[in-house]
Amino acid sequence: MQRLREVLPVRTTDEVLFEFAQRAQRIIISCNRNPFLKLAREAIEKGNPLAGLIILIRRRTRQAGCAHLLSLLRRAGEMGLTGNINLA
């Protein structure tokens, strides 16, 4: 696992981040729903493989959000996340 700030400048655009993640075969985990869904759709329409995308749905508390993410990770496993768009 890598954090964005460890590999790219903090103010990196969504487009640059998405391209970096695809080239590096990294799954993106983000609350930034619409921009990343749009980028994923465009990649799929072009026939480009999708490394994977997890969109975090905002919950009442961060603990609830973390619990949903952990539940998704347990249920899906690595093979269920790679190449898919998941909501947690």
Average pLDDT per block of 10 residues along the chain, 88 residues long: 84 94 93 95 94 93 93 87 91
Q: Are 50 and 27 in contact (CB under 8 A)?
A: no
The confidence score (pLDDT) of residue 36 equals 96
pTM of the complete model: 0.86
Sequence-distant (≥ 6) Cβ neighbours of residue 37 within 8 angstroms:
53, 55, 85
CA neighbours closer than 13 Å in the CB half-sphere of residue 52: 17
How does DSSP classify residue 2? -
